[in-house]
Amino acid sequence: MQLFFSLALLVSSLAYTVYGVQTLDLFDSIGRPGPGYFPLIIGLMLLLCTTINAVKSFKERAALLSEENTVSDEAEERYVKDTVVVVALITLFLVTLNVLGSIISMMLFVGLFLSYFNKGKLKFNIIYSLMLPIGVYVLFDILLRAGLPKGILSGII
């Protein structure tokens, strides 16, 4: 997993540098550093550091794999599936935020989250997923006048 993260950083650095070089001028018309000058320096340093980092991660992984007595990746328990579920729920929240409006998408998020992570407490979960969004809405939209998306409720509230 760490190797994957290091590689992702390396690829992003490469994309940043290449895109910067392609779209920005290195120098301005009178030869002073132009808009692309700093991005190139940052990009090159990023490339250098992330490459070293990726090689390091690769070696660590190789060392780990060669030690045959390692039973699992790490000794402690990890909850990869739960983490993915949370990321997916947050993404769903974002997708629905503008379409359904803030109140409904908040209720949807809290409801789905609790039905997965707080199983078997139906009554509590329903109350919680109704009250929290309403409280947040009152606070931000009415008291702080933040202007949250109304979505399909736009005619009603």
Q: Are 150 and 101 in contact (CB under 8 A)?
A: yes
Q: Which residue has the tokens 């009603």?
A: 156
Beta carbon of residue 65, minimum distance to other proteins (angstroms, whole number): 18
Closer to other proteins by Cβ: residue 68 or 76: 76
Tell me the two tokens of residue 151: 């979505």
Q: Which is nearer to other proteins, 26 or 70 (CB)?
A: 26
CB nearer to other proteins: give 68 or 77.
77
Around Cβ 4, how many Cβ atoms within 10 Å? 10
CA distance 148 to 135: 13
The least distance separating other proteins from the CB of residue 67, rounded to whole angstroms, comes to 19
The span from the CA of 139 to the CA of 101, in Å, is 16
| Residue numbers at the binding site for other proteins (CB under 8 A) | 1-2, 5-6, 8-9, 13, 16, 19-20, 23-25, 28-29, 31-36, 38-39, 42-43, 45-46, 49-50, 52-53, 56, 76-80, 82-83, 86-87, 90-91, 93-94, 97-98, 102, 106, 109-110, 113-114, 117-118, 128-129, 132-133, 136, 140, 144-149
Q: How far apart are CA 90 and CA 61, in angstroms?
A: 31
Placement of tokens 């190789």 in the chain: 62
User: Do 50 and 36 form a contact (C-beta atoms < 8 A)?
Assistant: no
